[in-house]
Chain A
Amino acid sequence: MRWAMVIDLGACTGCGACVVTCRQENNVPVADEETFYHGRNLDWIQLEDQAEGEYENLRVRQYPLMCQQCDKPPCVKVCPVRATYRDEEGIVGQIYRRCIGCRYCTNACPYSVKTFNWKKPGWAEGTERRQSPDVSLRPAGVVEKCTFCHHRRQKAKEAVRAEGRELGAGDYEPACVEVCPAGAMTFGDLDDPSSPLAQLVQDRHGERLMDDLGTEPKVIYLRPPGGRS
Chain B
Amino acid sequence: MSTARAGAAPVGEPLAPMTVHERAIFAPITTTGTGFKALALGLALVSAWALFAWIWQLTHGLGVTGLLRPTYWGIYITNFVFFIGVSHAGTLISAILRLSKAEWRRSVTRMAEVITVLVIAFGAGNVIVDLGRSDRALYVFRHANFKSPLLWDICSISIYLTASTIYLVLPMLPDLVRLEQKVGGWRGSVYRALLRATGYRDTPKQRHRLERAIGVMMVLVLPIAISVHTVVSWVFAMTIQPMWHSTIFGPYFVAGAIFSGIAAILTFMVVLRRAYHLEAYLRPVHFDNLGKLLLVMTLFWLYFTFAEHLTTYYGGEPHELRVLFDKVTGRFALQFWVMVVTCFVIPFAILCRAKGRRSELGILLASLSVNFGMYLERYTIVVPSLTNARILMTDARYTPTWVEWSILAGCVSTFLLLYLGFTKLFPIISVWEVEEGIEHGPRETTDRLATYYPPMAGSGEAP
Contacts and interface: CB of A to CB of B under 8 A. Distances in A.
A–B touching in complex (CB under 8 Å): yes
Interface of A: 37-41, 46, 48, 65, 74, 77-83, 98-104, 106-108, 110-112, 115-120, 139-143, 210, 213
A111 B390 contact: yes
Contact of B131 (A77, A100, A117): A100
A41 B63 CA distance: 12
Interface of B: 60-63, 67-73, 127, 130-133, 136-137, 139-140, 142-145, 147-151, 154, 235, 238-241, 386, 389-391, 393-396
A104 B150 contact: yes
Given A98-B143, A112-B70, A117-B61, A78 B149 contact: yes
Contacts of A37: 396
Given A112-B390, A119-B63, A100 B147 contact: no
Contact of A99 (B133, B238, B390): B133
A99 B132 contact: yes
Contacts of A99: 132-133, 136
B390 A98 contact: no
Contact of A102 (B70, B127, B386, B395): B127
A100 B132 contact: yes
A83 B148 CA distance: 12
Contacts of B63: 40, 118-119, 140
Contact of B386 (A48, A79, A107, A210): A107
B379 to A, nearest CB: 15
B173 to A, nearest CB: 36
B147 A77 contact: yes
B145 A98 contact: no
A102 B455 CA distance: 63
A46 to B, nearest CB: 8
B239 A100 contact: no
Nearest to B239: A108
If over half of B's interface residues share one DSSP class (helix, strand or loop), that class is named, otherwise mixed; here it is loop
A81 B139 contact: yes
Residue among A38, A100, A139, A143 with the highest chain B CB neighbour number at 10 A: A100
Contacts of A117: 61, 132
A220 B13 CA distance: 84
Given A81-B140, A103-B132, A141 B61 contact: yes
A77 B142 CA distance: 17
Contacts of B69: 39-41, 106, 112, 115-116
B384 to A, nearest CB: 13
18 contacts: A37-B396, A38-B396, A39-B393, A48-B391, A78-B147, A100-B139, A103-B130, A103-B132, A104-B235, A106-B69, A107-B70, A110-B390, A111-B390, A112-B390, A118-B62, A120-B61, A139-B133, A141-B131
If over half of A's interface residues share one DSSP class (helix, strand or loop), that class is named, otherwise mixed; here it is loop
Contact of B239 (A48, A107, A139, A143): A107
Given A81-B139, A119-B60, A100 B133 contact: yes
A112 B132 contact: no
B63 to A, nearest CB: 4
B145 A82 contact: yes
A74 B238 CA distance: 10
B440 to A, nearest CB: 49
Nearest to A97: B136
Contact of B140 (A38, A100, A103, A115): A100
Given A80-B150, A112-B391, A143-B132, 20 more contacts: A39-B395, A48-B391, A77-B148, A78-B149, A80-B154, A81-B139, A81-B143, A83-B143, A100-B132, A100-B136, A104-B235, A106-B70, A110-B390, A116-B72, A118-B62, A118-B63, A119-B60, A120-B61, A141-B133, A210-B390
B148 A79 contact: yes
Contact of B148 (A104, A107, A111): A104
A101 B241 CA distance: 19
Given A80-B150, A102-B150, A141-B131, A39 B68 contact: yes
A111 B133 CA distance: 24
B73 A103 contact: yes
Contact of A39 (B132, B238, B391, B394): B394
Given A39-B69, A98-B143, A100-B132, A118 B61 contact: yes
Contact of A38 (B60, B68, B390): B68
Nearest to A35: B63
A41 to B, nearest CB: 8
Nearest to A101: B132
Nearest to A48: B391
Closest 6 CB pairs of A and B: A101-B132, A141-B132, A39-B394, A118-B63, A119-B61, A39-B68
Residue among A38, A81, A115, A119 with the highest chain B CB neighbour number at 10 A: A81
Contacts of B395: 39
A112 B389 contact: yes
Contacts of A107: 70, 72-73, 239, 241, 386
Contacts of B68: 38-40
B29 to A, nearest CB: 41
A41 B393 CA distance: 10
Contact of A65 (B71, B147, B391): B391
